[in-house]
Amino acid sequence: MLPWYQDPVNFIAAWLRTVLSGWGLAPGAVDFILTFLGAGITALLGMLWVIFLIWYERKLIGRIQDRFGPNRVGPWGIFQPFADMLKIFVKEYITPAGADRVPYNLAPILSVASVLLIWAVIPFTMTIMGVNLNVGLLLIIASGGLSVLAVLLAGWGSNNKFAMLGGFRAVAQLISYEVPMVVSLLIPVILSGSLGVNDIVKAQNIPFLVTAPVAALIFFISSVAESGRSPFDLVEAESELVAGFNTEYSGLKFGMFYVAEFLHAFTISLLFSTLFLGGWRGPFAEQYPLLGFLYLGIKTFVVYFVVILFRGSLPRFRIDQMMDLNWKLLTPMALVSLIITALVAQPLVSLPWVQAAALFAANAAILIIFMGWAGRKVSRKRPIVGRPRPLAVPHPDDHMPVEP
Amino acid sequence: MLSDWLYVGVFFLIAMFLPGAAIFVAGLLAPKKPNPIKNSTYECGIETVGSAWVQFKAQYYVYTLVFLVFDVETVLLFPWALAYNRLTMFAILEGLLFVVILLGGLLYAWRKGALEWV
C-alpha cells in the first residue's frame, strides 16, 4: 500500500471501505458499493470527456482545412460543445412510422456502451484502473463486436433503404477488419505472455512499437477502420447513402452515435498507446503512479492527433479497394508477422535486447517486402475497359470567349 | 476473480444506463409534434416503395464465411499465444502449422475469387 500522496484514488477507496465497514455493512455489500462507485465514476468521466474531444477535434479539423473551427462561444470557442449539447437536448426526435422500435431505440445506447466498455479494463496508471481482468484483451475484442451489432441494429431497425445499405456495408467492413486486428493482437500476447491489459503494459520494458511495428501498424489501421471514420466511413458515406445507418435518427439519438464515434476515436488511441507505446510507463511512474496518468495522456494525444490527421487528409476508399486492403494486404501481413514473431522470439527469450533487435529487423523486412509487393500491384496499369472515349480538347477553329 | 466480472457487468449496465438516461431526459425536454408526413420514411422526397427489409447480396455472405473461419481460428490461437513462453519449439511449430494451413485457405479463397468485390 502506497502513501496517500502517491496513490490518492486507492487511498480514498481504502478509506471508504473502512468507513462503510464501520457502519456495520456486510463485506459483500461494501464490495458492491465500491464497485458501483468505481464503475459509475469511470463511465461518467468517459462520457463527459467527449465534450472536450468534440471541441478538440473540430478545432483541429478546422485548422487542417484552413479554417478557424469553433471560435465564438467562450475563449477559443471552448464552450461550443456545451451550446451544441443544450441545443441537441431540446431537439425533437422523430421515430419513423415503419421502424422496428426495439432495435431502433437500442442501437444508439448500445453503440455508446460498446465503446465505454473498453474503458473498464484500461489501466490509467499502475494502480488506477477499472479492473485488471485476466482476459482483458478478449473483452476489448468482444466490445468491438458489440459496436458492429449496434450499427447493424440501427440499419435494420430504421426500415429505410439507405440505412439498410449502410448496415450491409457495416457488416462487410467492420467484420472484415476484425480479422487482422485480432491476429495482430496475438503478437503482444505472445511477447508479454498475458491477456491482461495491465500485464501487457508491465511487460513493455521495450515498447511493443519497437519489437512489433508491423502488428502496431495493422492494429492502428484496422482499428481506425473499425471506428468507421473517414477514410473508412463507408457505413455513413454522405455522398452515397445520405447518412448511412443513422439516416432516420434525429435529436439526441443521433447525438449518441456521434458521441460514440468521437469516443471510439479517442479510445483506439488510448488502446494503441496502452498496447504498443507502453501505456502509463515512463520515468518514476512506479514510485508516483499519478505520473502514469500524464504519460498515458501525452502518448494518447499524440496517437489521437494522427487519427484526426487521417480523417482530415485522406479521401474515402471505394468499397472494393477497402476490402482488398483488408483481405489481400493486412490479413496476410498479420499472419506472416505472427509466424515470423513466433519463430524469432522463442530462441532469444533470455536475451531481451538481442530479441528486440532481431524482432525489429524481421518486422522491417516484412514491411519492406509487403510494401514493395503492394506498391507494384497498385502501380500496375489497369486494362482499359470499353472503347476509349474522345477527350475534350478545344479545336483551334472554335471560338473561345476572351475575358476583357 | 468473480468480483472482476461483477465490475464488468456493473460497468456495462452503467454504460447502457448513461446514454439511455440522456435520451430519456431529452425526450422529456424536447417538443413532440408528430405528423404523418414527418414520420414517413426518408427517401429523397418521394414516398418509399416496398419494404426496406430486403434480402442481401450473396457477396456479403461469402465475406462473412471467410471471416468466420478466421475468427474461430483466433479463438483457438489465443491459448497457444498465451502459453507461448512455456511451450517447446515443437509445440510452437505445431501452432504455426495451423496458421500456415489457414494462410493456405486464404490463398485458396483468393484464387477462387471469393475476395473479389463484384
Instruction: Report the pLDDT value the prediction gives residue A394, as an integer from 0 to 100.
Output: 64
Per residue in B62-96, pLDDT (tens digit) is 888 888 888 888 888 888 888 888 888 888 888 88
Kindly determine whether residue A256 and residue B23, on different chains, have CB atoms separated by under 8 Å.
yes
A259 to chain B, any CB pair closer than 8 A? The answer is yes
Which fold, B2-111? Methane Monooxygenase Hydroxylase; Chain G, domain 1 (1.20.58)
Instruction: Report the pLDDT value the prediction gives residue A269, as an integer from 0 to 100.
Output: 92
Per residue in A133-169, pLDDT (tens digit) is 888 888 888 888 888 888 888 888 888 888 888 888 8
Q: How far apart are CA B25 and CA B21, in angstroms?
A: 6
- The residue of chain A with its CA nearest to that of B72 is A179
Confidence class for position A404, pLDDT limits 50, 70, 90: low
- The residue of chain A with its CA nearest to that of B84 is A190
β-sheet bridge partners, residue A129: A123
Confidence class for position A304, pLDDT limits 50, 70, 90: very high
Confidence class for position A398, pLDDT limits 50, 70, 90: low
Confidence class for position A384, pLDDT limits 50, 70, 90: low
CB-based contacts of A3-11 (< 8 A; 24+ apart in sequence): A6/A287, A6/A288, A6/A289, A6/A290, A7/A127, A7/A128, A7/A289, A7/A290, A8/A290, A9/A127, A9/A128, A10/A127, A10/A128
Q: How far apart are CA A367 and CA A361, in angstroms?
A: 10
Min Cα–Cα distance to chain A from B90, Å: 11
Tell me what the pLDDT averaged over chain A comes to.
83
Kindly determine whether residue A189 and residue B81, on different chains, have CB atoms separated by under 8 Å.
yes
Per residue in A30-59, pLDDT (tens digit) is 777 878 888 888 888 888 888 888 898 888
Q: What ipTM did this prediction achieve?
A: 0.87
Which member of A32, A43, A178 has the closest CB to residue B14? A43
Chain A with chain B: Cβ pairs closer than 8 A = 220
**Cβ-based contacts of A31 with chain B (< 8 Å):** 3, 6
* Helix, strand, coil percent values for chain A (each to nearest 5): 70, 0, 30
Min Cα–Cα distance to chain A from B91, Å: 11
Confidence class for position A396, pLDDT limits 50, 70, 90: low
And the C-alpha cell for B31?
417538443
Q: H helices within A276-351, ranges in order?
A: 289-313, 319-324, 331-345
Instruction: Report the pLDDT value the prediction gives residue A393, as an integer from 0 to 100.
Output: 67
State residue A129 phi and psi, 5-degree precision: -155, 160
Nearest CA to A344 out of A367, A322, A360 is that of A360
Q: For A233-242, A310-319, B15-24, B31-40, which range has the lowest pLDDT when averaged over its residues?
A: A233-242
Confidence class for position B1, pLDDT limits 50, 70, 90: low
β-sheet bridge partners, residue A123: A129
A240 to chain B, any CB pair closer than 8 A? The answer is no
Which member of A171, A259, A320 has the closest CB to residue B60? A171
Instruction: Report the pLDDT value the prediction gives residue B109, as an integer from 0 to 100.
Output: 84
Please report how many Cα atoms fall inside a 13 Å half-sphere around the Cα of residue A277, on the Cβ side. Answer: 23
A45 to chain B, any CB pair closer than 8 A? The answer is no
Per residue in A198-255, pLDDT (tens digit) is 888 888 888 888 888 999 999 999 988 888 787 887 777 677 777 778 888 888 888 8
Kindly determine whether residue A108 and residue B23, on different chains, have CB atoms separated by under 8 Å.
yes
DSSP three-state, residue A402: coil
Higher pLDDT, A34 or A367: A367
A173 to chain B, any CB pair closer than 8 A? The answer is no
- The residue of chain A with its CA nearest to that of B114 is A327
End-to-end CA distance of chain B: 48
Min Cα–Cα distance to chain A from B32, Å: 6
Per residue in A67-111, pLDDT (tens digit) is 888 888 888 888 888 888 888 888 888 888 878 888 888 899 999
Nearest CA to A278 out of A299, A252, A254 is that of A299
**Cβ-based contacts of B21 with chain A (< 8 Å):** none
Min Cα–Cα distance to chain B from A58, Å: 22
Which member of B34, B95, B117 has the closest CB to residue A94? B34
Instruction: Report the pLDDT value the prediction gives residue B81, as an integer from 0 to 100.
Output: 86
**Cβ-based contacts of A190 with chain B (< 8 Å):** 81, 84
Per-residue buried b or exposed e for B16-52, using 16+ beta carbons within 10 Å of the residue's own CB = bebbbebbeebeeebeeeeeeeeeebbeeeeebeeeb
A306 to chain B, any CB pair closer than 8 A? The answer is no
Q: What is the DSSP letter of A122?
A: -
| Torsion B71-B72-B78-B80 (CA) sign | negative
DSSP three-state, residue A278: coil
Per residue in B100-111, pLDDT (tens digit) is 988 888 888 888
State residue A123 phi and psi, 5-degree precision: -80, 115
Instruction: Report the pLDDT value the prediction gives residue A390, as an integer from 0 to 100.
Output: 65
Kindly determine whether residue A117 and residue B15, on different chains, have CB atoms separated by under 8 Å.
yes
DSSP A134-200: TTHHHHHHHHHHHHHHHHHHHHHHTT-HHHHHHHHHHHHHHHHHHHHHHHHHHHHHHHHS-S-HHHH
Angle A179-A131-A119 from CA coordinates, rounded to 5°:
55
- Kindly list the domain boundaries of chain B, sorted by start residue: 2-111
Kindly determine whether residue B115 and residue A328, on different chains, have CB atoms separated by under 8 Å.
yes
Confidence class for position A305, pLDDT limits 50, 70, 90: very high
**Cβ-based contacts of A110 with chain B (< 8 Å):** 16
- Kindly list the domain boundaries of chain A, sorted by start residue: 8-90, 95-377
Instruction: Report the pLDDT value the prediction gives residue A249, as an integer from 0 to 100.
Output: 85
Higher pLDDT, A389 or A285: A285
